[in-house]
């Protein structure tokens, strides 16, 4: 595994963990203790994954031509922890509608 792949895996781990904490309703201290996570690391990653106090909304997504030819979906992981699978050829208007609904406060 390359260094870049390790970094991507680590980032994914923390994104998912922070999203789970948000959904849990628990304090950071209790959540970190239950999940055997270092509390200062949790705070550092949460800060790193935010920009100007707001969650980062979009990221560059690269897909290979071969993957698109096989009709494999692109997986979009939202800051909430939800995952959206987008198949090639999806209707753009439908995708915009789904994304706007997901952005609404719950």
Together in a domain, 48 and 61: no
Torsion of CA 5, 75, 51, 12, to 10 degrees: -40
Over residues 80-100, the mean pLDDT reads 78
74: left (phi over 0), alpha (psi -120 to 50) or beta: beta
Q: What local confidence, expressed as pLDDT, does residue 50 receive?
A: 73
Query: What is the pLDDT, as a whole number, of residue 55?
Result: 53
The pLDDT mean for the chain works out to 78
| pLDDT at position 106 | 58
Look at residue 36 and give its three-state secondary structure.
Answer: coil
Does 42 share its domain with 81? no
- Whether the predicted model's global pTM rises above the 0.85 cut: no
Which among 32, 33, 7, 29 is positioned nearest to 17, based on CA atoms? 32
User: Do 44 and 82 share a domain, yes or no?
Assistant: no
More confident position, 49 or 43:
43
In the chain, the number of structural domains is 2
Phi/psi for 79 (5° steps) reads: -60, -20
67 and 28, same domain (yes or no): no
**Higher model confidence: residue 68 or residue 19?**
19
Q: Which residue range forms the structural domain that includes residue 4?
A: 1-52
Tokens of 66: 């071969």
Q: What is d(CA 1, CA 6) in angstroms, rounded to the nearest whole number?
A: 7
Which sign does the torsion angle of CA 59, 76, 20, 24 carry? positive
């Amino acid at each position: 595994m390359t260094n870049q792949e390790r970094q991507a895996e680590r980032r994914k781990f923390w994104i998912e963990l922070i999203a789970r904490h948000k959904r849990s309703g628990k304090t950071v201290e209790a959540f970190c203790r239950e999940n055997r996570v270092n509390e200062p690391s949790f705070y550092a990653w949460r800060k790193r994954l935010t920009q100007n106090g707001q969650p980062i909304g979009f990221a560059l997504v690269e897909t290979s031509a071969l993957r698109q030819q096989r009709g494999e979906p692109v997986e979009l992981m939202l800051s909430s922890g939800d995952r959206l699978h987008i198949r090639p050829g999806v209707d753009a208007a439908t995708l915009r509608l789904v994304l706007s609904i997901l952005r609404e406060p719950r």
